[in-house]
């Protein structure tokens, strides 16, 4: 996984050359892949918390109200992470196709005027290629907008989870003999929040590079 | 695309990428192999243009883009290296190890930033730091300038088109019944391999190598005794004879 230093090294290695959008999109897909795994762990953690609160009976009543929130938020995150992965992979493919269209258009541009005079159908071909290139560009722009939206929503979910951690700790402290077990649940969620924050930050940086 | 670690030790691992369900039907199925060390990634026979996006995604699961430092092309065919123009843009500092014979041809795929490392006819090495790979000559099998990659640590031979099989669907990764498997290899070897002399030369050479796994670019991987069975089968097969 990339961190701030390795991302900078990656950017520097291109020595001022533009990093192809398909590289950034594929890197984004890889870097945010762990978001889904973390969200799945959170969902599992909420199930674990449910089991503890059931055993804790009266002691666990305060905490049990929170477990559903954790599970719902984790499931929203899983779905958002899936969507980010699909969008980023789609963007990789479309960016590759866009490179070919641009190459084709550039090659047609180099044809002589005589070629266009003798073969007027080349005008149509060039127009079609440019139109297709525009369509890919538009598709890519839309994908970037959607990716940004999904990243924002993942960020919102993470903020919610961060708030839940504080509530978890309060409720865990009231759980008497079950305090340690529920405190450990809060620790797990807090750790996940930090990991997610790190990945979201990386996602933001990669999105900035795309722009 | 299926991406799976096949073999590993404490210095490096071999990864296969293939069996891509999204691959267009009329494109021949190919196996791409990668070797990952702690800070470098080599992609062997990275494949055609149509596979590029899937291959890029697979490679980035193991390395950042600037750690993909080496490409290897066993020969010049489009299913081997026609994606070069895209890798050339994607990789900031990479070297392509390929037969000297094909340089002028392979550059037609587009190559501005990548360094072309010419492999001489007698073979050579790829030094990834953690592992030194041997480039084994396999000329005329089928291409007139052609190499295999041998890993002496893990005893793996990436054999390119030698041992290739054309099977429909998504066959398992490893040969399970050698005799049964030969029917998927026979026509391919008879038609694509043009020279019995070159074939025998290669067999004599690789018989001297300890090989645990032989990994071709199409079809299934041979392991253990099946490697020897393949060499015996190939030795007995009359090649270059499919249309005669």
Q: pLDDT, tens digit, for every residue of B108-119?
A: 999 999 999 999
What would the pLDDT profile of A174-191 be if each residue is shown by its tens digit? 888 989 999 999 999 999
Q: How far apart are CA B208 and CA B193, in angstroms?
A: 22
Q: Show residues of chain A in contact with B86, CB under 8 Å.
A: 22, 96, 99
Q: Show residues of chain A in contact with B66, CB under 8 Å.
A: 9-10, 13-14
Query: Binning pLDDT at 50, 70 and 90, where does residue A80 land?
Result: very high
Query: Binning pLDDT at 50, 70 and 90, where does residue A10 land?
Result: very high
Low-confidence ranges of chain B (pLDDT < 50): none
Chain A contacts in chain B segment 26-55 (CB below 8 A): 49, 52-53
Of residues B96 and A121, more confidently modeled: B96
Task: Write down the pLDDT at residue B244.
Answer: 65
Answer yes or no: do A30 and B61 touch at CB < 8 A.
yes
Q: Show residues of chain B in contact with A27, CB under 8 Å.
A: 60, 64-65
Select from B55, B57, B6, B64 the least CA-distant residue to B35. Answer: B6
How far out from the chain centre does Cα B69 lie? 17
With CA atoms as reference, the chain B residue closest to A34 would be B61
Answer yes or no: do A10 and B65 touch at CB < 8 A.
yes
pLDDT(A92) > 80 = yes
Q: How far apart are CA B44 and CA B32, in angstroms?
A: 6
pLDDT(A137) > 90 = no
Which residue in A15, A17, A89 is closest to B57 by CB distance? A89
Answer yes or no: do B66 and A13 touch at CB < 8 A.
yes
Q: How many CB pairs under 8 A join A and B?
A: 50
State both tokens at B161.
């088109």
Q: With both helix axes pointing from N to C terminus, report the angle between A61-109 and B52-60 in degrees, rounded to the nearest 10.
A: 140
Mind listing the domains of chain B with CATH numbers?
2-243 (3.60.15.10)
* Beta bridge mates, B13: B8, B36
H/E element, A176: none
SS3 A127: helix
Answer yes or no: do A9 and B93 touch at CB < 8 A.
no
């Amino acid at each position: 996984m990339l961190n701030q230093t390795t991302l900078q090294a990656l950017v520097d290695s291109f020595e001022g050359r533009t990093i192809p959008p398909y590289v950034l999109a594929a890197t984004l897909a890889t870097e945010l892949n762990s978001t889904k795994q973390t969200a799945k762990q959170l969902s599992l953690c909420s199930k674990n918390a449910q089991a503890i609160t059931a055993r804790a009976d009266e002691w666990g009543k305060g905490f049990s109200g929170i477990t559903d929130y954790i599970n719902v938020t984790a499931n929203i995150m899983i779905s958002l992470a899936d969507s980010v992965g699909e969008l980023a992979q789609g963007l990789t493919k479309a960016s590759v196709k866009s490179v070919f269209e641009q190459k084709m258009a550039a090659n047609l541009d180099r044809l002589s005027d005589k070629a266009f005079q003798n073969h007027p159908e080349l005008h149509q071909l060039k127009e079609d290629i440019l139109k297709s290139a525009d369509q890919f560009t538009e598709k890519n722009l839309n994908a970037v907008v959607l990716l940004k939206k999904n990243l924002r929503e993942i960020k919102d979910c993470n903020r919610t989870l961060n708030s839940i951690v504080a509530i978890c700790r309060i409720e865990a402290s009231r759980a008497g003999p079950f305090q340690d077990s529920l405190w450990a649940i809060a620790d797990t969620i807090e750790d996940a929040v930090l990991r997610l924050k790190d990945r979201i930050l990386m996602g933001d940086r990669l999105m900035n590079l795309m722009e | 695309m299926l991406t799976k670690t096949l073999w590993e030790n404490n210095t490096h691992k071999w990864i296969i990428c293939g069996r891509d369900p999204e691959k267009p039907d009329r494109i021949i199925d190919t196996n791409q192999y990668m070797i990952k060390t702690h800070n470098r990634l080599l992609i062997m026979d990275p494949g055609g243009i149509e596979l590029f996006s899937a291959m890029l995604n697979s490679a980035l699961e193991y390395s950042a883009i600037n750690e993909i430092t080496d490409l290897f092309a066993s020969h010049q065919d489009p299913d081997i290296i026609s994606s070069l123009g895209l890798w050339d843009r994607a990789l900031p500092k990479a070297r392509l190890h390929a037969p000297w014979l094909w340089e002028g041809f392979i550059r037609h795929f587009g190559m501005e930033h990548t360094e072309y490392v010419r492999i001489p006819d007698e073979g050579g090495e790829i030094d990834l730091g953690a592992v030194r790979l041997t480039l084994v000559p396999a000329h005329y099998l089928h291409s007139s300038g052609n190499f295999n990659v041998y890993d002496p640590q893990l005893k793996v031979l990436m054999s390119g088109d030698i041992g290739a099989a054309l099977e429909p669907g998504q066959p398992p990764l490893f040969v399970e019944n050698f005799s049964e498997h030969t029917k998927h290899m026979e026509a391919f070897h008879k038609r694509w391999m043009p020279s019995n002399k070159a074939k025998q030369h290669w067999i004599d050479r690789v018989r001297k190598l300890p090989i645990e796994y032989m990994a071709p670019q199409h079809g299934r991987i041979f392991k253990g005794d099946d490697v020897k069975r393949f060499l015996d089968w190939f030795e007995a097969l009359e090649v270059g004879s499919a249309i005669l």
